[in-house]
Amino acid sequence: MSYEALFYPKSIAIIGASRNIKTVGNDVIKNLVTQGYTGNLFPVNPKADILYGKKVYPTVQEIPERIDLAIIAIPAQFVPDALVQANEKGATAAIVISAGFKEAGNADLENQVAQVCQERNITLIGPNCLGIINPEIKMNASFAGVMPIEGSVAFVSQSGALCTAVLDYALDLHVGFSKFISTGNKAVIDELALLKYFAQDEKTKVIALYVEQLENAPELISAVKELSLGEHAKPVVILKSGTTQEGSSAIASHTGSLAGGDTAYEALFAQAGVIRAHTIGELFDYVQVFSKNKLVPVENITIVTNAGGPGVLTTDAVINSGLHLAKLEESTIHKLQEFLPKAANTHNPIDVLGDAVGETYQKTLDILVQDANTDAILVLLTPQSMTEIRKTAHAVVHSHYYGNKPVLASFMGQETVHPGMKIMQEAGVTTTTFPEAAAKALGVFSKFQKYSVREKSEVLKFDDVDKQKVADIFAQAKQNGKTSFPEAEALEILQAYKFPMLKSKQAKSAAEAETIAKNIVAELGSETTFAMKIVSQDILHKSDVGGVMLNVTAKEIKEKSQELMARVARNAPNAKLDGVLVMQMAPKNGVEVILGVSKAPGLGTMVMVGLGGIYVEVLKDVSFGYVPITKNDANRMVTSLKSAKIFEGVRGAKPSDIDMLVESIGRLAQLVLDFPEISELDINPLLVLPKEEGVRVLDARVLLESHVS
Amino acid sequence: MSYEALFYPKSIAIIGASRNIKTVGNDVIKNLVTQGYTGNLFPVNPKADILYGKKVYPTVQEIPERIDLAIIAIPAQFVPDALVQANEKGATAAIVISAGFKEAGNADLENQVAQVCQERNITLIGPNCLGIINPEIKMNASFAGVMPIEGSVAFVSQSGALCTAVLDYALDLHVGFSKFISTGNKAVIDELALLKYFAQDEKTKVIALYVEQLENAPELISAVKELSLGEHAKPVVILKSGTTQEGSSAIASHTGSLAGGDTAYEALFAQAGVIRAHTIGELFDYVQVFSKNKLVPVENITIVTNAGGPGVLTTDAVINSGLHLAKLEESTIHKLQEFLPKAANTHNPIDVLGDAVGETYQKTLDILVQDANTDAILVLLTPQSMTEIRKTAHAVVHSHYYGNKPVLASFMGQETVHPGMKIMQEAGVTTTTFPEAAAKALGVFSKFQKYSVREKSEVLKFDDVDKQKVADIFAQAKQNGKTSFPEAEALEILQAYKFPMLKSKQAKSAAEAETIAKNIVAELGSETTFAMKIVSQDILHKSDVGGVMLNVTAKEIKEKSQELMARVARNAPNAKLDGVLVMQMAPKNGVEVILGVSKAPGLGTMVMVGLGGIYVEVLKDVSFGYVPITKNDANRMVTSLKSAKIFEGVRGAKPSDIDMLVESIGRLAQLVLDFPEISELDINPLLVLPKEEGVRVLDARVLLESHVS
């Protein structure tokens, strides 16, 4: 891909440059000419001579030099030809601003565009987009009027119109961009491709995306995990819309794309380590804190305030964000006491009192940046009579520059504090209008930093599985047009993937049942009771015909199995009976969980884990992970359950064998990766026994996709 | 109380008015003189002659006229005398700005102030406060420099310093106040007193409070419920800090008051119908939406946008706020199609496209205010090339004035959209910087409106209880120094309050046991099995000595009770055995819940309800209500449980007898109201049977406060 030609072109053709102001074709050439781009510009338009001082060419062919990048803003049907012509003039990158493709029902035309780009290896942004901006070279190749400041944030938006608002918010907060991209319909270049580019791009330190729909969860997960690892980890912040059904259908009418449910995206973001912003405001808070501060460990926060109430509110917000108030060093407290008034609070949150002037803040901050127990500082100010807003702002800036730890500020109010906020924003201090948002952003910062230093975790893979056996079972099933595998057959499939089972065997006679029971007792080396279930192709609901008996001892089993057979024969006289399944009774000291498989269209296959039982069903306490699944992924799935504490052992119970639960998740992931034709699979329940006693599959069911040939 | 003298004084003495600028005593007289107050002002200071053109009096006594209100800003120890002197000059209201009372460890001095006020019937704000402002008469009796605009919001803050920030935020958003009060230490007038005043105050339509600590939950609940009922309901919005333990201890150092845990406040706010703001930002969003819009039912929202992405984001926010997107009338859609471009989306969210001008918005809004299916409109704008920000703002204002339904707006961006935001704010339109906040505020608005039209609910009260019996039990216990009532005795107490019990009776012999069992079967009119428990003062753990048998039939009971007695006699040869308790076995088709009692210091006594079982214990799924409890309260407690769905009947179970659960909550509330000496009480479990089958107490325990004499 020619990202160099896209982001750093030496010459650009603007195909569809227009004389008519307030049109897209005019805005683009105007922005390129007037906002500082220094490369060659070749406007193309058969009806113009000169535009913004640049000679206009009637056709692409007539451009006298080689071009790197083509920006296309002509009616949709002419776009494929324009791409060919531009490519013949050397362009290896293109931006198609024109609308009228998939979003207008013209998917064929869009496919045609994609095909031209594929054949000719053209790096294409769009169609139906606002364009791109590279502030580093002052290239505004978009119809947004504003040149943002240069910085370290790569912003990517699926909504072009949102970009104009984002540019305006960003200017206000002095957030700078490395690259600014409106992706439009993503015919060629999508978020995944851009993430891979930003991984290499030295100018980019933070990646922020607005998306309505994504594809290929496994690759996205892998790309984001890679980005977010190590000392130079780059956080990926995503604002995803269409989280509700109504939101999703609004998208459908908007970009013609089908959004997945929010569960699928929640799982994707959690597994990848994406920082999810839930509002535009949060997006900016997170982008600020990551782009304006060095990624250092942050756990203990010190608050400085000239007002008690806001100090308390912010303390709450700090704690609720998963952070702690720093316990200041004794020496810090002494130094503060030396100059602060007696009524001041020299313990965290530090209240310098309402009459604090700029110098009070300055001295306090000078001491706090030296405090070894303080990882980050949050400075609050309310505008009181003695308050020196500008001087205090400069004190914050000073500690931000030289303090070597994140310093965030919220000067509370609007007009009155505005000059101070401006001073801090322009100097690169993270600011928020209300202090709670700063605390929340610090919490996210801390969490990401911890994530960035994690151990890399490998995909769970087991060599002891019998893949061939399952392949044979499925092959035979397909021959017979069979897609459903209830209990016994499902257990056979799982057994091939070495899921631990209860011991069981089918008996054809009462005598055989007794032998099986005795053998199981011998194998286990301990007593057990048994469940017996009738085996018959003709009986759907075993219990209804008296075909199930529980808690039978080995001694009773011969007699009881005769009783069972006779009872079923009476109740279902026409059924052909094949014998009884003799199965060890399940231990009583386990926690029941459910494992399952769910397919997220366009994104991938998810494995689900949830706690069993009626309460959890009501509370929908489940978590998901996309295959393939690493050990970390599986652990996260388990520990992120709301009721995960149950595995630690409550009411005197022993802790559960989580290792074997994690292994089971891995085995299930491997099974569905090996056999994508599995459309549904439930292991319900999987019994998780106490530590070192493993797990047992008690029941399961498997369904294949019927259309797989 | 002389609120007239406090808020509408005709003459004010400023005791401690000062020449030294940037002091509190100077700020107050300056604010009163220069910001438009037209009553008589009498500065008092022995060392000054004239202050801001007003004659200064050396002592209060020398003021030549009667005064209504005294503002006091002199050292704490002189305050009680000053109050007396002011009162003798006629003042029936006072504001003590001076600090140095409870917050500085001088609780005695504060009590002295309170006593003077009580004796002389002085309505006192403070001490240790910023003062009050009444914009209606341009009276700034505070040391905050800003006169807010007049409006319908009564703002009350326990933090004086927060007030200065709030005034600044409010000016920016054009939020106007009816009264603005810094309560300080609340020695006399607290939030409860002010709520009662605002209920009568015609200028106040919305009440907003910042609090760190409250007292007397039952009275607050009653006051807020009263305020929030009917056509002219006044919403009470509260920002409460100190929700975390760390936050609470910050308060302790700040105002010297002890904060209750957040559970106690959550329960208080939920029961009262308080609108809880979790951040300062939310406080302003809610205050805006209530003060700037008429309280009408709002369920179905229509979004108008010139950008698809923000439309989708806002749709999500609308749905997540508990609201719906309006399904527009057919005629509305037709009218929109007549003038909007073909590519526009004329279904909700309405996308007027990026090139929409002011007139496009105007026409669209004119149609939407007529749409019968639209309860409220949310207008979004992103600044694009063709966008007319001011014209669009005027279109929004027009629909706000004449549309007769709430119209909220979020013009996205900062500098660029600022002129439009100002136009709308000044005209009284509710605006938010980011659109999600507007959606959330509308959700809160809708919820409050529904609450305001509720039926009034009476306190649950039962005449069939035997209060005397419980009084006798407790009286005797106190005589014996006994405070703990396990199982049997606790059941006796609950039985006196007519909690449904399992049938049980103590038998002295095997023959009697059989008779009891037969009688129970006869009474029930159906078969049942029985539990038998040994009765002996000498046996603590009945199970340990084989003293419990379950599932015994009436036929077996004679033999089994002999067996039980013999077994216990063998195992505990020294114990004196008094017989066996014969108890009907509990039905198996019930849902186990826990009822309990919890005391919130300073606030009141709460009854707790939660679902039983191990999962719910892990998930801490419980809810609370203060006594006394109405039927609505008890219903809310039950339905607000996360797992409340279980009562509807899941997995084929029948719906539970919620009516009897609600009644049980009421009976428990009555019991703890009647006997405040109960310090702890658990009914665990209470079995809730299917509809019309009632509930049963299976076990309980009661503890009395040991220090109650």
Question: Measured between CB atoms, does A318 come within 8 Å of chain B?
Answer: yes
Give the minimum alpha-carbon distance from B315 to chain A in angstroms, rounded to a whole number.
5
Are B157 and A309 an interchain contact pair (Cβ–Cβ within 8 Å)?
yes
Q: Which residue of B255, B312, B354 is in closest CB contact with A247?
A: B312
| Residue ranges of B 560-599 with Cβ closer than 8 A to chain A | none
Nearest to B194 by CA among B12, B1, B11, B9: B1
Q: Which residue of A has its CA nearest to B322?
A: A244
Please give the sequence-ordered ranges of beta strands (E in DSSP) within B38-149, or none if there are none.
Answer: 40-44, 50-51, 54-55, 69-72, 93-96, 123-125, 131-134, 139-142
State residue A259's pLDDT score: 33
Q: Which segments of A60-151 does DSSP mark as H helices, in order?
A: 79-88, 107-120
* pLDDT for the residue numbered A251: 52
- pLDDT tens for each residue of B556-586: 999 999 999 999 999 999 998 888 989 899 8
The answer to whether domain A3-291 and domain A294-452 are alike in fold is yes
Q: What percent of chain A has pLDDT over 70?
A: 96
| Sequential DSSP letters for B535-568 | E-TT-S-GGGGT-EEEEE-TTTHHHHHHHHHHHH
Contact check, Cβ <8 Å, A171/B306: no
Q: A276 with A286: CB under 8 angstroms?
A: no
Give the number of residues written for chain B. 709
Q: CB under 8 Å to B589, separation ≥6 — which residues?
A: B653, B654, B689, B690
Q: How many angstroms separate the CA atoms of B263 and B248, rounded? A: 13
Per-residue pLDDT of A572-591, as tens digits, reads: 999 998 889 899 998 888 99
User: What token pair was written down for A556?
Assistant: 């009773």
Nearest chain B Cα to A344, which residue? Answer: B254
Instruction: Name the residue ranges covered by the structural domains of chain B.
Output: 3-291, 294-452, 457-502+586-709, 503-585
A519, two tokens: 């053998």
Residues of A in contact with B613 (CB under 8 A): 615
What separation in angstroms does the CA of A606 have from each of A260, A474, A587, A660, A668? 13, 21, 29, 19, 10
Residue B256: exposure state from Cβ atoms within 10 A (0-12, 13-18, ≥19): middle
Residue A538 pLDDT grade (very low, low, confident, very high; cuts 50, 70, 90): confident
Q: Is the minimum CB–CB distance between A263 and chain B shorter than 8 Å?
A: no
pTM (2 d.p.): 0.91
pLDDT of residue A537: 74
Question: CB of A295 within 8 A of CB of A452?
Answer: yes
Kindly list the distances between the CA atom of residue B525 and the CA atoms of A336, B518, B522, in Å, as whole numbers in the listed order. 79, 10, 5
Cα–Cα distance measured from residue A467 to residue A671, given in angstroms and rounded to the nearest whole number:
8
Mean pLDDT of chain A: 93
Q: Choosing among A103, A169, A301, A316, which should be mutated to test the B contact, i.e. which has the most B CBs within 10 A?
A: A316
pLDDT of residue A616: 64
Alpha-carbon distance of A684 to A700, in angstroms, equals 6
Residue A7 has φ and ψ, to the nearest 5°, of: -95, -25
User: What is the distance in angstroms between the Cα of A643 and the nearest Cα belonging to chain B?
Assistant: 6
- Please provide the distance, in angstroms rounded to a whole number, between the alpha carbons at the two ends of chain B: 36
Q: B279 and A317 in contact by Cβ < 8 A?
A: yes
Return d(Cα B22, Cα B12) in angstroms, integer.
Answer: 21
| Residues above pLDDT 90, as percent of chain A | 79
pLDDT at A247: 63
Contact yes or no for B588/B528 (Cβ under 8 A): no
> Which is nearest to A697 in space by CA: A540, A548, A561, A584?
A584
Residue B251: helix, strand or coil by DSSP?
helix
Q: Are strands B591-600 and A622-626 parallel, antiparallel or unpaired?
A: unpaired
Nearest-Cα residue of chain A relative to residue B439? A279
Are A435 and B158 a contacting pair at CB < 8 A? Answer: no
- Please state, in angstroms and rounded to a whole number, the distance separating the CA atoms of residues A637 and B58: 75
- The per-residue DSSP string of B80-108 comes to HHHHHHHHHTT--EEEE----SGGGT-HH
Of A161, A210, A650, which has the smallest distance from its Cβ to B382's Cβ? A161
* Nearest-by-CA chain B residue for A324: B246
Which residues does residue A532 pair with via DSSP β-bridges, in sequence order? A549, A582
Task: Summarize pLDDT for B366-389 with one digit per residue, the tens.
Answer: 999 999 999 999 999 999 988 999
Q: Which of A651, A526, A515, A631 is nearest to A587 (CA)?
A: A526
Pairwise CA distance, residues A307 & B160, whole Å: 8
Partner B contacted by A20 (CB < 8 A):
no
* ipTM of predicted assembly, 2 dp: 0.89
Provide the pLDDT for residue A256: 36
Pick the CATH number of A3-291 from 3.30.1390.10, 3.40.50.300, 3.30.70.380, 3.40.50.261: 3.40.50.261
- Which range, of A127-136, A589-598, B435-444, averages the lowest pLDDT? A589-598
**Residue A650 burial by Cβ neighbours in a 10 Å radius (0-12, 13-18, 19+):** middle
Cis peptide before B127 (omega within 30 of 0): yes
Out of A172, A280, A382, name the one closest to residue B161 (CB): A382
Tell me if A356 sits within 8 A of A386, measured CB to CB: yes
Tell me if chain A has a CB within 8 Å of the CB of B378: no
Q: Are B236 and B272 in contact (CB under 8 A)?
A: yes
pLDDT digits (tens, 9 = 90+) for A389-445: 999 999 999 999 999 999 999 999 999 999 999 999 999 999 999 999 999 999 999
- Distinct helix (H) and strand (E) counts, chain A: 23, 31
Q: How many angstroms separate the CA atoms of B169 and B163, rounded?
A: 10
A613 contacts B615? CB cut-off 8 A: yes
pLDDT < 70 positions in chain B:
245-261, 487, 615-616, 707-709
For residue A250, the model assigns a pLDDT of 57
Amino acid (1-letter code) at residue A429: V
Domain A294-452 belongs to what topology? Answer: Rossmann fold (3.40.50)
pLDDT (0 to 100) of residue A708: 45
CA separation for the pair A153, B528 (Å, rounded): 73
CB < 8 Å to A241, chain B: 309, 312-313, 315-316
Q: How far is CA A419 from CA A390, B289, B493, in A?
A: 7, 28, 68
Residues 405 through 434 of chain B touching chain A, CB cutoff 8 Å = 412-417, 433-434
- CATH: 3.30.1490.20, 3.20.20.70, 3.30.43.10, 2.30.38.10. Which one for B503-585? 3.30.1490.20
Q: Which residues of A touch B650 (CB under 8 A)?
A: 614, 617-618
Inter-chain residue contact B212 with A618, CB threshold 8 Å? no
- pLDDT value, residue A246: 66
A243: confidence class by pLDDT, cuts 50, 70, 90: confident
**CB pair distance less than 8 Å for B158 and A642:** no
Parallel/antiparallel/unpaired status of strands B123-125 and B93-96:
parallel
Angle between helices A389-402 and A418-426 (to 10 degrees): 20
Q: Which fold has domain A591-704?
A: D-amino Acid Aminotransferase; Chain A, domain 1 (3.30.470)
pLDDT of residue B250: 57
Subunit contact A165:B345, Cβ cutoff 8 A: no
Report residue A367 as tokens. 């001491």
**Interchain pair B414, A171: CB under 8 A:** yes
> Could you say which DSSP state residue A695 is in?
E
State which residue of chain A sits closest to B319, comparing Cα positions: A244
User: Are the C-beta atoms of B215 and B603 separated by less than 8 Å?
Assistant: yes
**CB of B342 less than 8 A from some CB of A:** no
Residue in the block written with tokens 């300080």: B184
Q: Quick one: B457-502+586-709 is in which CATH superfamily?
A: ATP-grasp fold, B domain (3.30.470.20)
Cβ B278–A436 below 8 Å, yes or no?
yes
Decide if A645 and B312 are in contact by the 8 Å CB cutoff.
no
Ramachandran category for residue B369: left, alpha or beta (phi over 0 → left; psi -120 to 50 → alpha): alpha
Tell me the residues of chain B between 121 and 180 that have a Cβ less than 8 Å away from chain A: 143-146, 157-162, 164-165, 167-169, 171-172
Task: Give B615's contacts in chain A (Cβ within 8 Å).
Answer: 611, 613, 615-616, 619, 643, 646
Distance CA B97, CA B73 (A): 5
CATH architecture designation of domain A503-584: 2-Layer Sandwich (3.30)
Token pair in block for residue B234: 């006044």
